[in-house]
Chain A
């Protein structure tokens, strides 16, 4: 019997797991883009750098606690502290950026905050790369327990399992906050109409800050996962995941929370499984870097054929 595909089952399953792993990171970052867009109709282009600074805070924490020498139960403690530090650093960055770069421009033409966002993004990434690292990189301590789970041809490392599982848990918590809490209701109300939310007694500025903060904590969390998984981190590390997460948010329908999650996984899978599919075409053999080409080709196609994305709503009616 001739096999249906050139690639083996193992390769396909590997790509599936890889896709879900990077997809988790895209989804976590994409949530920040989509939530801020939801309340402000602003693309927070500094969000990739919020992710980057979270990753560095996590790195600093792990190194300070012993780095590669960490073992046993201390690994778990160090990881928890790293996540807390990353969440805190990202939150602080995002809140400061909102206050300094966006709020003063709240009533300016829409292009103004976009340009100030790009300015903050470039400033932060270069500050880290040129100011502190002199063009070099840092490497996350390899502390996560090695090993994997095998289910027939399916092979998943503990790190990948942790990454996918903890991302899902974080997204679950976010979903609960947005859907079930008073703060979440305020966020959804502000997203529909700032004026009408204010008429309910909602403090709109505070709600906007909370929205930035929630997205930032998820990005900081993603920064640590990224460091654990890809190891090398640098000031410019936020750029590609940032733009891709933005792509994921647009894919899902910017402003939509489920859309950001679905878009994140969809993009992760398209990059990996999609590339493998193209490689099935006789004579085609795309190296790994083609995943970026595929991601952005997808963005362009979505923008042309379905600019509102998968879950996109039309601009809500405003009185």
Chain B
């Protein structure tokens, strides 16, 4: 049984239907990527999973239980953390306070060692722990957003375009971190416009167009698919 499974998911905003009946499965330990162009409905899919947008129909099941009627904070508690598009850090709080918020739902003894784990993954965050997060560079903010999500010890990590707006060197660093996190046993649903890198790191992939899944398969397979190469990998 899949850890996360979306069935016939429909969601939108006011008069707009942004996703129009989506089926996606993510198994424990997998990296699954959802790729598609701007406005295709990727963020809406993640927002619907996290409960920030209420599905109009369809279901979201996590670990076998329906979560699509739960409030957002209960979904986090169930084990799903999201690194939202644009990073969503709290600019006026310190780096350390941002990380503390990541562990908001936890009271177990492992929190202290998880700060160390995050600082080991992102040494820059340790250096800047007492700084307000708004003073960080874009790349550091992305690291903070990912580190903060890891502080929740999620069973499923949702990443919304972590490479957006970053220089090629930083993009490489972010993807290296994603590999590192997966080696530590994480399950990840990764949304990207940077299809090349996403397909490289992913076990399986879905392609979304105008709110519908148009292709799915193993990451390496889709990377070879002609239509994918034309549409997303910038080939003629």
Interface residues of A (CB under 8 A from B): 182, 185-186, 188-189, 192-193, 195-204, 313, 316-317, 319
Contacts and interface: CB of A to CB of B under 8 A. Distances in A.
Contacts of A204: 72-73
Nearest to B93: A188
B142 to A, nearest CB: 13
Interface stretch (B79-87, B165-173, B213-221): B79-87
A202 B73 CA distance: 6
29 contacts: A185-B93, A185-B104, A186-B101, A186-B104, A188-B90, A188-B92, A189-B90, A193-B88, A195-B52, A196-B88, A196-B89, A198-B52, A198-B71, A198-B73, A199-B52, A199-B76, A199-B81, A199-B82, A200-B101, A201-B73, A201-B152, A202-B73, A202-B101, A202-B104, A204-B73, A317-B91, A319-B85, A319-B86, A319-B88
Interface in B155-169: none
B54 to A, nearest CB: 12
Given A198-B72, A203-B73, A316 B101 contact: no
Given A188-B92, A200-B104, A316-B91, 14 more contacts: A182-B104, A185-B104, A188-B93, A189-B90, A192-B90, A195-B52, A195-B84, A197-B101, A198-B51, A199-B52, A199-B81, A202-B101, A204-B72, A317-B91
Which range contains the number of B residues in contact with the other chain?
A: 20 to 34
Contacts of A186: 101, 104
A186 B97 CA distance: 10
Contacts of A201: 73, 76-77, 104-105, 152
B92 A192 contact: yes
Top 10 nearest A-B pairs (CB, nearest first) are: A201-B105, A201-B76, A198-B72, A319-B86, A196-B88, A200-B101, A201-B104, A192-B90, A203-B73, A200-B104
Contacts of A200: 76, 101-102, 104, 148, 152
In this complex, the member of A196, A200, A203, A204 whose beta carbon has the largest number of chain B beta carbons within 10 angstroms is A200
A86 B181 CA distance: 52
Contact of B100 (A185, A199, A203): A185
Contacts of B100: 182, 185
Nearest to A316: B91
Nearest to A184: B97
B50 interface: yes
In this complex, the member of B76, B86, B101 whose beta carbon has the largest number of chain A beta carbons within 10 angstroms is B101
Given A185-B100, A204-B73, A199 B50 contact: yes
Interface in B26-71: 50-52, 71
Contacts of B72: 195, 198-199, 204
A189 B93 contact: yes
Contacts of A182: 100, 104
Contacts of B88: 193, 195-196, 199, 319
In this complex, the member of B71, B87, B88 whose beta carbon has the largest number of chain A beta carbons within 10 angstroms is B88
Contacts of B104: 182, 185-186, 200-202
B151 to A, nearest CB: 9
A201 B100 CA distance: 11
Contacts of A188: 90, 92-93, 97
Contacts of B71: 198, 203
Contacts of B81: 199
B93 A192 contact: yes
Contacts of B90: 188-189, 192-193, 196
A199 B84 contact: yes
A193 to B, nearest CB: 7
A191 B76 CA distance: 19
A319 B90 CA distance: 11
Nearest to B88: A196
Contacts of A198: 51-52, 71-73, 76
Contacts of B50: 199
B225 to A, nearest CB: 32
A191 to B, nearest CB: 8
A316 B92 contact: yes
In this complex, the member of A185, A186, A201 whose beta carbon has the largest number of chain B beta carbons within 10 angstroms is A201
Contact of A185 (B51, B77, B82, B97): B97
